[in-house]
Structures are given as C-alpha cells and as structure tokens.
Amino acid sequence: MSFKRIADAGDLTGKTALVRVDFNVPMDKGLVTDDTRLRSAVETVQTLRTQGAKVVLLAHFGRPKGQRVAEMSLAPIAGAFAKVLGSNVSFVADCTGDHVKQAIADLAPAGVILLENTRFHPGEEKGDMALARDIADLGDVYVNDAFSAAHRRHVSTAVLAELLPAYAGCAMERELDALDKALGTPEKPVLAIVGGAKVSSKIDLLKNLVTQVDALAIGGGMANTFLAARGHSVGKSLCEHDLADTAREIETIAGQNGCDILLPRDLVVAREFAANAANRTCGLDEVADGEMILDAGPQTVVILATAMDVARTLVWNGPLGAFEMTPFDAATVAAAKAAAARARDGRLVAVAGGGDTVAALNHAGVTDDFTFVSTAGGAFLEWMEGKPLPGVDALRRHNT
C-alpha cells in the first residue's frame, strides 16, 4: 500500500502541519469519559513537534450538520488532550478566518492548537473545495491520522490531501499496514471469522470476503440464517428467513472462489434470552421449537482452532454468540483466546475490528495479544467490504 509517512516529510522547522485527528470521544457533563482516541493521537503530534512543526489539529464532534451547536464544541477536549499530551494545547473557536491565521502565526514552534469542530461548516461534509482552500491556506503540510473517518470524502479527511503535501499519521500508518497484512497482501491461507446478529447488515462484507479468503467462519445470529437456509431448524432463534436465498448465493460465490464456509457444528440453546438462563448444548437438528440459539458449542470452537492452525492470517469481525451474557460468551472467549495464543507465538497474523469485536476481545482479555485491533468501526467494515475509502485513496493518489 503506497503512501507517504511523516518520516518522509523531513525537517518541518517553521512549517505548520494540519493534522486530522479523531477526537469524537464519549463525553458526560463536559468531561471525556474515555480518552483512548486522544491517546492515539499523541505519537503523531509529538513526532511532528520533534520535527519542528507547529501542530494544528482538525477534528469533528457529533453531527451538528453544518450548524454551530454549543454542546458539540471541541473546547472541552482541548484541555483533556493537553493532560494526555503533557503540554499546553490552545483552542480557537473556528477553523477558518483571519483570527485563526493570527493564532497560528503567534504559535511558537512545536506549539499545538485545536481548531473548532470542522462540521460546524456545511461545506465540510460536502467536500467543498472553497472551504478546503481556506483551511489549506492555514498550513504547509497535511497529515491524516483519523482512519475512523477515512470512509468519508470530507474536506478534512480527504480533500485537503489534494491541496497540500499529504502524509499518514502514526496511527493511520499502523492501521494501513495492518490492513494490508490482513487482506491486501496477506500471508495465506487466510481465515475470516464474521459474527453478529444479522446477515442483512453484512451482505456486502460476506460477498467480498468469500472472494478474498480461503475459509470463512460465520457465527452469531447470522449463522442461524445460514443454518436455516441449509434446512436446519433454528427454533425461535434470531433468524432472517427471508434471506435464505442470499445465504445460499453467498455459499455459491464461496464455492466458485474456493472458499470454505464454516458454520457451527454444535449449539448452546436456551428458552429465554437472559444471563445465566437454563441452557443445554445440542446438535444441529436438535433445537426444539421453543428454544433459541445463543452461542456456538465447544465442538465448533475446536473446529475454529483447527482452522487457525492451518491459517497464517486471521481477520475477525463480530462475536460468535450473545457474549454480553454469561454463559453465552463461552465460544467467543475461547476462540479469541485460541487466536491470541497463536498470534502471540508468531504463528498467526490476527487482525480484528468493529465495535462489538473490540468489546468482545476486551471481555476475553486478549486485545493486546492480537496483531492489531482496529477501533475504526465504519471505516474498518467498509474496508472489509472492499469499498473505496476516500481518506486513504487521497493519500495514495497524491503521493505515489
């Protein structure tokens, strides 16, 4: 994957770097409740400061839809990031205009400024070139460190790369390198595990993966749709019976591309959807009418672990069962630990992403053992679907 990195920028003394970061953090009563995304930006900011640049941060917060919304101001985040950075961070209540230029001009070398929510301007989400020129006029180079917003062709996520020398930030660099190892130029065989509730939300993802990987394991509620399409009774389980033809189509595409589909071989069922509900493990054709499938069984985990032994690369999105409730987290936790052990030993490149996936791996206590875990959400899913990511394409197109 060809793109320029901050190291390629050289000496930036006297230059201003416009840096797109993801500061769309959870807030409660004006306080940041999870500073993960703030911490993720530190390496890029410090690297640019070391190279002599003034650092001007661009970010969005919420969905103000082109209006100034006081509750969506980035002002409180400037102080929170200053604590994480261990250095002063100024704040300017806009991202264009002469007062912004003056604030940057007054900034000392290696100083840091956070500009106001870019989405307060209606042109941001439209990719408006006039707004892009106004913002580009503030700096000398552009750095994108927000992979989570790379699936949007907004001014601050893509268009600026058309107007300034553009580089991937450190977090973006790690993300792109990991994704390239997972599906771009992976070491084969490649195994994908996809779970979650509904096939309908991941049709594009499944259709793309079966043309890219050697084996696809399907879990969670979406596995029920595939089982039903194969003629198995799923009782009162979550199941999209109207997508049986879609499930069969995906299996057909898989067969045409030499991709093995792995479905659960045994199931954990219960009569109520509740933590610690009375449950039993059964075979595929033993689900009673009043029962629902809430997890994969131990035989399925063994099959997945065996598939991991064959694979050299693993891409994981989505849990294998109702992992939020014990004991229906068992398959997800066991499979995650199996993948983590192989990644830790260097036998497997294990890349995972998507909201529920991150929560599930954290629950299993294995996040740090995976090769890479993306917190990008929508951008990660669109990458898995094989869709273009404007923020990434802009870096590649203008820097090759």
**Spatial separation of the C-alpha atoms in residues 24 and 72, rounded to whole Å:** 10
C-alpha dihedral (100, 101, 102, 103), degrees to nearest 10: 50
Region class of 18: left (phi > 0), else alpha (psi between -120 and 50), else beta: beta
Report, as residue numbers or ranges, the catalytic residues. Answer: 37, 198, 355, 378
**Is residue 363 exposed (0-12), middle (13-18) or buried (19+ Cβ within 10 Å)?**
middle
Give me the phi and psi of 210, to 5 degrees please: -70, -10
Q: Are the C-beta atoms of residues 250 and 195 closer than 8 Å to each other?
A: no
Region class of 170: left (phi > 0), else alpha (psi between -120 and 50), else beta: alpha
- Omega cis (within 30) before 388: no
Amino acid occupying residue 41: A
Q: Are the C-beta atoms of residues 83 and 179 closer than 8 Å to each other?
A: no
Length of the chain: 400
| Residue of 67, 92, 55 lying closest to 77 (CA atoms) | 92
How many angstroms separate the Cα of 244 from the Cα of each of 239, 262, 269, 391? 10, 17, 21, 35
Amino acid occupying residue 328: F
Q: Are the C-beta atoms of residues 399 and 2 closer than 8 Å to each other?
A: yes
If DSSP codes are grouped into helix, strand and coil, which group holds residue 294? Answer: strand
Q: Are the C-beta atoms of residues 318 and 353 closer than 8 Å to each other?
A: no
**Spatial separation of the C-alpha atoms in residues 1 and 284, rounded to whole Å:** 43
Cβ-proximal residues to 125 (8 Å cutoff; 6+ apart), any chain: 65, 66, 119, 152, 154
